[in-house]
């Protein structure tokens, strides 16, 4: 939504010589601001934060959403960390996209993360495009959209910003911090940075450092965006354009990595798309082609290309092993948090062994850690889907741990 805000702002500048256009665009801008203000909760992070890239930011927005109620003791809070293309709207109806929240299977009344019992907080990561400080915001120094002038961020930076929400709600210690994929990276970084600020931690389908394969997939997506002539070195907003074709291809390529070979074969195989025979052209002959094109087309309506570049770069820079000079165990040596690590049999993006490496590092320091590998043919996306064994395991861990409060 903020990228739309920025486009309208720049159009006002472009058409400022035409009073009628300015009036119309000003009305649109005002309406959009009021809509966003009503739908997106934000806090302003006032204190300066030095990013890993060396730049200092302050007085910037952090968008968030909450579910459930914070109890009197303030000991029932769970910080949910979203993945690459997620946002703060975890469950229920997303007020911006008008679709179900990205984790509606897991979060809600009587679900794995029970909103009748827990107070759930989720922040849109900085660098994102759903209200938090990102490349779609206006640079106060230049009065133009940041674009690729936005500072490069890391998972460490993201976590150091999110912790401000604990202060905002007066929470001294979380009951849990939970997340899958990039969200799991944030869980690991959070516990490492703030070892006394959570009782439990649930990293799901993640890794302690991004592999060469995953960096390669992310680079493929970034280059697809950069190859779109509308990208304009990240300054596309000033041209009133969007690199939608490049972003769609990036999404299509990434989406393949979230699935499994078995799942794809069983769902699509070589089925044709609304035709009886091959058409001997380059339209979508196969259902899988049509499916991927659809995934790409709907993605560009809700996500920003520059945010995609920045967040995938943050994922690629994530390396807890390197942060602690080759010893992953040292990342967690100061915490007493109870860990529950979950992987999936068909996840080839963040395979079980990479999750087990985290377990091994925790065992080496005598940490309280549990681990389960869930049987699923749904690939990396298993944690987002209705996989009963996963949802049951997550619920059992949280509820049993909370009983011990």
Contact 87, 128 (CB under 8 A): yes
Q: What's the first-to-final CA gap in the chain, in angstroms?
A: 40
Q: Which of 104, 176, 181, 237 is catalytic?
A: 181
Q: Which of 157, 347, 377, 381 is catalytic?
A: 347
Catalytic residue check, 347: yes
* Whole-number Å distance between alpha carbons of 136 and 144: 10
Tell me the Cα Rg of the chain.
22
* Whole-number Å distance between alpha carbons of 388 and 367: 28
Q: Which of 157, 380, 381, 382 is catalytic?
A: 380
CB atoms within 10 A of CB 284: 18
Residue appearing with tokens 């912790």: 163
Catalytic residue check, 233: no
Catalytic residue check, 255: no
Print the SS3 string covering the chain: CHHHHHHHHHHHHHCCCCHHHHHHHHHHHHHHHHHHHHHCEEEEECCCEECCCCCEECCEEEEEEEECCCCCCCCCEEEEECCCCCCCCCCCECCCCCCECCCCCCEECCCCEECCCCEEEEECCCCCCCCCCCCCCEECCCCEECHHHCCCCCHHHHHHHHCHHHHHHCCCCEEEEEEECHHHHHHHHHHHHCCCCEEEEEEECCCCECCHHHHHHHHHHHHHHHHCCCCHHHCHHHHCCCCHHHHHHHHHHHHHHCCCHHHHHHHCCCCECCCCCCCCCCCCCEHHHHHHHHHHHHHCCCCCHHHHHHHHHHHHHCEHHHHCCCCHHHHHCCCCCEEEEEEECCCCCCCHHHHHHHHHHHHHCCCCEEEEEECCCCHHHHHHCCCHHHHHHHHHHHHHHHHCC
- Residues known to be catalytic: 181, 347, 380
């Amino acid at each position: 939504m903020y990228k739309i805000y920025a486009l309208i702002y720049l159009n006002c500048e472009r058409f400022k010589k035409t009073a009628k256009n300015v009036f119309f665009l000003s009305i649109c801008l005002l309406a959009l601001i009021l809509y966003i203000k009503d739908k997106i909760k934000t806090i302003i992070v006032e204190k300066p934060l030095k990013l890993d890239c060396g730049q200092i930011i302050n007085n910037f927005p952090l968008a968030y959403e909450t579910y459930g109620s914070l109890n009197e003791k303030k000991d029932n809070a769970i910080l949910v960390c979203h993945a690459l293309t997620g946002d703060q709207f975890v469950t229920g109806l997303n007020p911006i996209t008008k679709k179900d929240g990205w984790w509606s299977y897991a979060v809600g009344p009587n679900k794995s993360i029970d909103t009748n019992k827990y107070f759930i907080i989720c922040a849109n990561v900085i660098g994102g495009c759903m209200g938090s400080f990102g490349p779609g915001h206006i640079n106060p120094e230049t009065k133009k959209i940041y674009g690729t002038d936005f500072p490069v961020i890391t998972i460490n930076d993201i976590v150091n910003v999110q912790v401000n929400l604990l202060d905002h709600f007066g929470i001294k210690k979380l009951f849990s911090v939970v997340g899958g994929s990039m969200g799991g990276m944030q869980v690991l970084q959070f516990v490492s940075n703030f070892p006394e600020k959570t009782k439990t931690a649930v990293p799901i389908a993640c890794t302690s450092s991004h592999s060469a394969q995953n960096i390669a997939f992310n680079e493929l997506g970034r280059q697809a965006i950069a190859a779109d002539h509308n990208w304009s070195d990240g300054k596309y907003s000033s041209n009133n354009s969007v690199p939608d074709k490049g972003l769609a291809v990036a999404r299509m390529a990434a989406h393949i990595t979230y699935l499994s070979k078995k799942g794809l074969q069983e769902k699509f195989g070589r089925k044709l798309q609304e035709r009886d025979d091959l058409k001997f052209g380059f339209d979508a002959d196969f259902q899988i082609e049509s499916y991927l094109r659809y995934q790409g087309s709907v993605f560009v309506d809700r996500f920003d290309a520059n945010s995609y570049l920045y967040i995938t770069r943050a994922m690629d820079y994530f390396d807890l092993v390197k942060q602690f000079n080759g010893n992953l165990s040292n990342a967690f040596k100061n915490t007493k948090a109870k860990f529950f690590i979950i992987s999936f049999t068909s996840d080839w993006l963040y395979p079980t062994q990479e999750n087990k490496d985290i377990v091994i590092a925790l065992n080496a320091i005598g940490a309280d850690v549990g681990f389960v590998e869930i049987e699923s043919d749904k690939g990396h996306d298993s944690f987002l889907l209705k996989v009963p064994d996963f949802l049951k395991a997550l619920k059992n861990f949280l509820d049993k741990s909370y009983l011990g409060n």
